[in-house]
Amino acid sequence: MKALKVLKLGLSGVLFAIGLTGFLIVLKQGVLISGDVPGHEPLYTTGWSLFFFLMLGVPCLLATVFGALPWIAWLREKRQGN
């Protein structure tokens, strides 16, 4: 039973790390455009920013949240046990 809990925490840790990394990359590359991109209209860049945020950023954010939930539950259980 303890091995299953360790496996669950390990997999959720990996999911959390991948999700957080992906979300930060999407924020840096897709959403947070600094200034005007030469040759493109502002509406065009805004549309692509929204696309990357919805298609990549939101799933990565959800992976981060769901990856952190088992760790939060484990920390609560550990605090209540002591």
Which structural domain, as residue segments, surrounds residue 40? 15-81
Give the residue with greater pLDDT, 37 vs 3. Answer: 3
Sequence-distant (≥ 6) Cβ neighbours of residue 49 within 8 angstroms = 30, 31, 33
At 44 the pLDDT is 81
Q: Give me the count of residues in the chain.
A: 82
| 3 in a structural domain | no
pLDDT confidence of residue 31: 66
Residue-level pLDDT at 21: 94
Report if residue 7 sits inside a domain. Answer: no
Q: In the prediction, which pLDDT does 67 show?
A: 94
Q: Which residues are CB-contacts of 67 (< 8 A; sequence separation ≥ 6)?
A: 12, 13, 14, 15, 16, 17, 18, 19
Assess if residue 1 is contained within a domain.
Answer: no
Q: Does residue 71 sit within a domain?
A: yes
Question: How many domains are contained in the chain?
Answer: 1
Asked, for residue 22, whether it belongs to a domain, the answer is yes
pLDDT by residue (tens digit) across 9-62? Answer: 999 999 999 999 998 888 887 666 656 667 778 788 888 888 888 888 899 999
